[in-house]
């Protein structure tokens, strides 16, 4: 094992005990599992972002001593720790609010986590193949080139495969570090790559423990200084006066959200909180704050509300389902009541286009419907809206809308830019209770603000609602599990960041050509 794939920098520095732990002992599985399990602490709400440098280094360190098959298992156990802690809130959604049994909820959660952990298993297998094929003096090449690029590849693929699950991509952990300066240029995937690269470089410095380590550490410092320098660049500029906005957090219980017997109480809560804030330019309600179809509320609620808002020179954007009376398809939608702008579209709609699998629609519906209660919930039959929908206009501004999970896809959001001057995310995080999910989602919204150079307005059912400036800083936020109104100012902005212009193209170019070059290099060295 290790003596057959010697790294020069390893044999003289590392004890055989550590080698055997990863090469054959179950202790190795435990160590990488722990490394994966603590990695979510780098994300919100803990925000100890330096863990994102430590945990990947432990995983890569383990790959130095093993066969490809063993590396795959080490990667899988790392992924089980990472996703087992990081997305443990999936169990809450299925069991408590999906009304499924403990057993069914645990099995479904385990299957989901296991499938995601397979990405790390693949990373381990491929990385060790490279380590074995390249000449001894080139092993460092694998550490600082192949491992970070393959991390990037699998994150990107996870964010695309089967409509994508880009949650807790490594780059999100860096919203509070200087690496966030790269967001406007490279996006979250670029930051993931640079974080993994920094981790690899630190591992190499640890393994060398000689004068060469200084050059490696200088490389890490250069990466981080580059992030700081980019954070000082003003990619966008002010466009008009600040707007006063109010985010209405109704704190509606998820278990009763779709119960028609509780609708009147919910409606009155949102109306009451709104009427206290008619001095705002814009009032926002969360995703499906009204759980009755638009056409059923048009005369009794929405038209009177529009007239009341008009008298106070306030615009409103609220969430509700919309039924197409001809096709009988229904959408999760945002409705803008635009009174303060001379616009022919006084009432506008945005229909959610990127739905959550199994939560808002059922893939292979004929197979899964009826299997467990969670798959039969009424909100799991939504139809996706068209991808090329128009911006919402309110309070004199063009607003880029996303509903809940949609803002996890930065490459989708930029379709509204550079025309949009503000960002809006309306969410229902009540599905996940008192877990990591609402905090992780807030961090995702911060990344979208950084990537686009725009202020973000984030309104949720029961928290965390927040106003985020164009630098990704939270300027005002709500407590969780309270009826609360976040009131503050947002600054419309114009201009275009490199990420808005190019999206993920540059990062993907580096990734594909870097990995292709690595394959060519390995063959050349072995020819």
Q: What are phi and psi of 377, to 5 degrees?
A: -65, 145
Backbone angles phi, psi at 239, to 5 degrees: -130, 85
Residues of 307-323 as b/e, b for ≥16 C-beta within 10 angstroms? Answer: ebbeebebbbbbbbbbb
Selected catalytic residue, list 139, 155, 267, 287:
287
| CA 275 to chain centroid | 33
Q: What is the distance between the alpha carbons of residues 447 and 471, in angstroms, rounded to a whole number?
A: 9
Question: Would you give the distance in Å from CA 174 to the centre of its chain?
Answer: 12
Q: Rounded to an integer, what distance in angstroms lies between the CA atom of residue 504 and that of residue 412?
A: 11
Catalytic annotation, pick one of 155, 257, 398, 404 = 404
Cis check: omega of the bond before 15, within 30 degrees of 0: no
Residue 17 is among the residues annotated as catalytic for this protein: no
The tokens describing 43, both together, are 């994300």
Give the separation between CA 411 and CA 429, rounded to whole angstroms. 22
Return d(Cα 319, Cα 317) in angstroms, integer: 7
Q: Is 241 a catalytic residue?
A: no
Return the structure tokens found at 194.
Answer: 């640079």
Q: What gap in Å lies between CA 393 and CA 338, rounded to an integer? A: 7
Cross-strand bridge partners of residue 476: 467
DSSP letter (8 states) at residue 356? P
Q: Using CA atoms, how far apart are residues 124 and 505, in angstroms rounded to an integer? A: 26
Peptide bond into 172 cis (omega under 30): no
45 upstream amide cis, omega within 30 of 0: yes
d(CA 78, CA 42): 15
CA dist 163 and 303 (Å) reads 37
| From 139, 257, 267, 352, active-site residue | 352
Q: How many CB atoms lie within 10 A of CB 110?
A: 14
Q: What would the two tokens of residue 87 be?
A: 């997305």
Specify whether 404 is catalytic: yes
Q: How far apart are CA 41 and CA 226, in angstroms?
A: 25
Catalytic residues: 287, 352, 404
């Amino acid at each position: 094992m290790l003596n057959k794939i010697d790294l020069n920098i390893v044999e003289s520095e590392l004890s055989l005990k550590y080698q055997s732990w990863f090469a054959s002992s179950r202790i190795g599985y435990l160590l990488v599992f722990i490394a994966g399990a603590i990695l979510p602490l780098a994300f919100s709400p803990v925000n100890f972002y330096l863990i994102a440098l430590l945990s990947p280094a432990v995983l890569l360190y383990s790959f130095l001593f093993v066969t490809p098959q063993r590396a795959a298992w080490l990667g899988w156990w790392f992924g089980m720790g990472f996703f087992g802690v990081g997305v443990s809130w999936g169990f809450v959604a299925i069991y408590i609010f999906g009304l499924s049994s403990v057993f069914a909820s645990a099995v479904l959660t385990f299957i989901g986590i296991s499938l995601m952990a397979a990405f790390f298993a693949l990373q381990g297998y491929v990385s060790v193949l490279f380590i074995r094929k390249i000449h001894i003096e080139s092993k460092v090449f694998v550490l600082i080139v192949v491992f970070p690029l393959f991390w990037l590849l699998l994150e990107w693929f996870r964010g695309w495969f089967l409509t994508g699950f880009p949650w807790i991509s490594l780059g999100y952990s860096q919203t509070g570090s200087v690496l966030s300066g790269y967001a406007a240029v490279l996006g979250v995937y670029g930051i993931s790559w640079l974080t993994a690269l920094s981790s690899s470089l630190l591992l190499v410095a640890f393994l060398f423990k000689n004068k060469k380590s200084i050059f490696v550490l200088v490389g890490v410092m250069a990466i981080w200084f580059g992030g700081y320098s980019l954070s000082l660049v003003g990619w966008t500029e002010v466009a008009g006066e600040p707007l006063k906005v109010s985010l209405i957090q109704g704190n509606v219980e998820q278990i009763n959200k779709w119960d028609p017997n509780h609708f009147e109480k919910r409606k009155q809560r949102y109306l009451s909180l709104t009427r206290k804030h008619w001095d705002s330019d814009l009032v926002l309600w969360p995703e499906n704050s009204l759980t009755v179809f638009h056409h059923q509320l048009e005369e009794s609620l929405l038209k009177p509300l529009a007239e009341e808002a008009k008298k106070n020179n306030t615009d409103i954007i609220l969430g509700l389902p919309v039924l197409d009376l001809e096709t009988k398809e229904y959408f999760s939608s945002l409705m803008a009541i635009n009174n303060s702008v001379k616009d022919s579209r006084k009432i506008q709609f945005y229909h959610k286009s990127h739905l959550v699998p199994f939560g808002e629609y059922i893939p292979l519906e004929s197979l899964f419907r009826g299997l467990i209660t969670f798959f039969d919930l009424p909100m799991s039959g939504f139809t996706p809206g068209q991808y090329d929908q128009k911006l919402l206009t309110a309070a004199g501004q063009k607003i880029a809308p996303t509903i809940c999970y949609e803002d996890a896809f930065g490459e989708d959001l930029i379709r509204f830019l550079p025309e949009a001057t503000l960002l809006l995310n309306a969410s229902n995080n009540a599905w996940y209770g008192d877990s990591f999910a609402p905090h992780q989602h807030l961090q995702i919204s911060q990344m979208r603000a950084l990537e686009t150079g725009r202020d973000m307005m984030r309104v949720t059912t029961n928290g965390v609602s927040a106003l985020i400036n164009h630098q990704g800083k939270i300027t005002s936020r709500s407590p969780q599990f309270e009826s609360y109104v976040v009131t503050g100012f947002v600054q419309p902005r114009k201009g275009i960041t490199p990420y808005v212009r190019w999206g993920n193209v540059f990062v993907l170019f580096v990734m594909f050509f870097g990995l292709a070059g690595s394959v060519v290099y390995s063959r050349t060295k072995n020819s």
